[in-house]
Amino acid sequence: MFRRKSIITILAASMVLSGGAVYAQTNGAPNGQSATAFDNKIIKKISADNMYNNIALLSEQPREAGTEGEVRAVKYIEGQFKSLGFETKVLPFPIYDYRTNHVWVKIGGADITGTAPRAFSGSVSGKVTKQLVNVGKAKPEEIGDEVKGKIALVERGDITFIEKVQNVLNRGAVGVLMYNNSSNGNAFGQAQEGQNIPAVAITQTQGLELVGKLKSGPVEVTLDVDIEKIEKTSYVVEAKLKPNKNKDTGQIVTVGAHHDSVRGGPGANDDASGVSAVLELARIFAKAPIDTEVRFLTFGSEERGLVGSSFYASQLPKSDVNRMVAHFQMDMIGGRDAGADNPAGGLIMYTIDGKKNLVTDLGAAAGLRTMDVAIPYGQLGRSDHQPFHELGIPSALFIHSPVEPWYHQPTDTLDKISKEKLQQAAEIVGSSVYQIARPDTPALENARVAPGTVDYDFEDRPVD
Ligand code: BES
Ligand code: ZN
């Protein structure tokens, strides 16, 4: 982790976006600033009670992706957007679960003794009975033509699992039996899409015994792997708020949270809190004058590796991506004890590259106006701002860090939610979004707020 501590001065008035728009950001001296009439259009209307009630509803049961719990949450969120008059879409996408039915290894017809063998994650199913060939660590120079049509015995180490599987596959092997290079069990191994041979992990003891056996003659091995691939469906909910046609900058701002939770977790803070703020801001923006499209998004399968937001990013037409100027992600913004005793209740803005951007600039300035604190920024992925960043869209994650000990636990429940934290985070994101979407920008000279400068710091704070 690199550490950078610097005070960055932004001349807000000189921020130029891809679309050429310039935004007024704050109103004068860094200290003692207060919310403007424009902020008040949004923040005066934010109701922490509304957010709290939505968290209560959403956290009644776990919302693990691909389960009934997710469907229930998606229907509720969609219903809320629809009742606000939004153009709403529920976008389904497939997710996959794998169930291992059996992994058998037979040596000369008899089951291997000792620890039960394990399939690599990503291994295909298959049954092969062939001679075993020792290929060392499966570096290209170690593998001869004799492995063609045989099962490769491989030692773990030096190069990646995927490289090893690929190297023997390139020489025509029909199976991989890999043994550990330490006495650390057999919970290892990874294969990737397209590597269509069964790959099985065994312990070091089991492997070395086979190496010995091979020295005194051929060994016939059976690999029998039965893994079931189960397709499920997860969702992204999208609600679009379009500006008036004759006052449209053509730009798009997105505001997101993830609606899924971990298995068995109510996910009150992670991330019903973010969803509740997305819904609350949607309710308020629906009645605010805007000149920029605002898209409210909730993602499924974040907890599986940002699958919903990656899907959403992948299906965006290029013409949309080119118009997208900022993504605000809210994930874990209500934790009563999160943030320890850092200022602003520990609220921080994380970017993927650790650099400030339009989103953090606006967030820091909004923090000064609404809480009299310049919200710091830091470097972290781990949420749905990542795929937006990869599309080149200025993005940040708003979160209180360090997070609480009940992160991803069944105890991430409503009673740990602070209305005050919800209110503050929603105010900061809401007024930031409104700086872009309000109709008097980019005509700075007509804006009633004067441009100013904002200082905010990089912080390398522990997150959990
Ligand atoms: N809300 C968390 C991200 C998080 C947790 C950020 C703790 C900072 C501190 C998110 O839902 C999550 O758990 N993400 C996963 C990563 C994801 C790619 C599966 C994580 O952090 O393990
Ligand atoms: Zn989360």
* Same domain as 370, residue 241: yes
The single residue listed with the structure tokens 């604190």 is 373
For 20, other C-beta atoms within 10 Å of its C-beta total 9
- What pLDDT is attached to residue 35? 85
Give the nearest ligand 1 atom to 303 CA. Answer: 19
For residue 407, how far is its CA from the centre of ligand 1 (angstroms)? 9
Pocket of ligand 1, candidates 382, 385, 398, 464: which has the most ligand atoms within 8 Å of its Cβ, to mutate?
382
* Same domain as 287, residue 323: yes
Task: Indicate whether 378 belongs to any domain.
Answer: yes
For residue 410, how far is its CA from the centre of ligand 2 (angstroms)? 14
E strand or H helix at 277: helix 273-285
Tell me which residue has its CA closest to atom 3 in ligand 1. 382
* Same domain as 338, residue 280: yes
* Same domain as 273, residue 242: yes
- What pLDDT is attached to residue 452? 54
**What is the domain count for the chain?**
2
* Same domain as 294, residue 193: no
Pair of tokens at residue 93: 């996408």
- What pLDDT is attached to residue 441? 67
Structural domain that includes position 170: 109-218
Task: Indicate whether 99 belongs to any domain.
Answer: no
- What pLDDT is attached to residue 33? 64
**DSSP state, 261?**
B
- What pLDDT is attached to residue 36? 83
- What pLDDT is attached to residue 445? 37
Residue where a domain terminates, one of 218, 241, 261: 218
Residue where a domain terminates, one of 164, 189, 218: 218
Instruction: Please enumerate in sequence order all residues whose Cβ is within 8 A of that of 360, keeping only pairs 6 or more positions apart, or say none.
Output: 349, 351, 375, 377, 396, 456
The domain that holds 22 is classified in CATH as 3.40.630.10
* Same domain as 455, residue 406: yes
The single residue listed with the structure tokens 């009673």 is 415
Pair of tokens at residue 199: 């790959």
- What pLDDT is attached to residue 34? 81
The domain that holds 193 is classified in CATH as 3.50.30.30
Task: Indicate whether 369 belongs to any domain.
Answer: yes
* Same domain as 120, residue 32: no
* Same domain as 430, residue 287: yes
∠ Cα 230 233 239 (to 5°): 165
* Same domain as 294, residue 196: no
Q: Output the ligand 1 site: residues, CB below 6 A.
A: 270-271, 302-303, 305-306, 331-332, 380, 382-383, 399, 401, 403, 407, 463-464
| Residues of the chain falling short of pLDDT 50 | 1-32, 443-451
